[in-house]
Amino acid sequence: MIRRVALLVTGTVATVAAVLSYNPPNLTAPVASGGVSTGTKAPSQSPNTTNSPSSNSQSSNPTAAPTKSAGNNPTQTPNANPAAGVFGTFAGQTSQTRWGPVAVQIKVVDGVITSAQALQFPNGDRRSLSISQQAIPFLIEETLSVQTGKISGVTGASYTSGGWILSLNSAIKKAGI
């Protein structure tokens, strides 16, 4: 009998400690004005500039990958990926869903989405906030892994997922990637 009580008390204390130590993600990011982008495109070089001996394409962009000389392949441009020179932060348009607005902001470095965050999300009631807190980390992860607006939604958060995809596509379009 004493063993059962000791086991019950120990289990209860461990459970309470685990619940109290859980720290959910903080999704209360400041709301930015939708549609304002601070992104820029790096100036691209024309294929003729690589033929001049005084031109050094790597000195203007230290992170650029080395390219083959223009003499070996006259059709190759130094920047074969047009989105490779895109840098900045881009906010997507706010998407109005049944449970509240959703707005996404992405950070792009050299044409690659390096971070995403929710500027607005449904949080008008406890259930909406709970769903958003569970769904948005998955949507961010999916955005970073897929790198396009064709991401999978989250089951049980279809309105939030749909709003995320619309806002994300808007941000990607502004970035030009």
Cβ–Cβ under 8 Å, residues 98 and 159: yes
The pLDDT value recorded for residue 7 is 84
Residue 125: CB partners within 8 Å, gap ≥ 6?
none
Check residue 161 and give its pLDDT: 93
How far CA 84 is from CA of 65, 79, 116, 176, in Å, comes to 11, 7, 18, 10
pLDDT score, position 84: 61
pLDDT at residue 115, as a whole number: 93
Which residue reads 């950070």 in tokens? 107
Tally of CB atoms within 10 A around 60: 12
Predicted confidence (pLDDT) per residue in 124-176, tens digit: 899 999 999 999 999 999 999 988 878 888 988 999 999 999 999 999 999 88
Q: Domain segments of the chain: what residues?
A: 26-41+82-175
Its pTM stands at 0.55
pLDDT of 17 reads: 79
- Does domain 26-41+82-175 fall under CATH 3.30.465.10? My reply is no
Low-confidence ranges of the chain (pLDDT < 70): 22-85
Cα Rg for the chain, rounded, in angstroms? 24
**The pLDDT value given to residue 95:** 93
Closest among 123, 126, 146, 148 to 136, alpha carbons compared: 123
Q: Give yes or no for a contact between 175 and 145, defined as CB atoms under 8 angstroms apart.
A: no
Q: What is the enclosing helix (H) or strand (E) of 48?
A: none
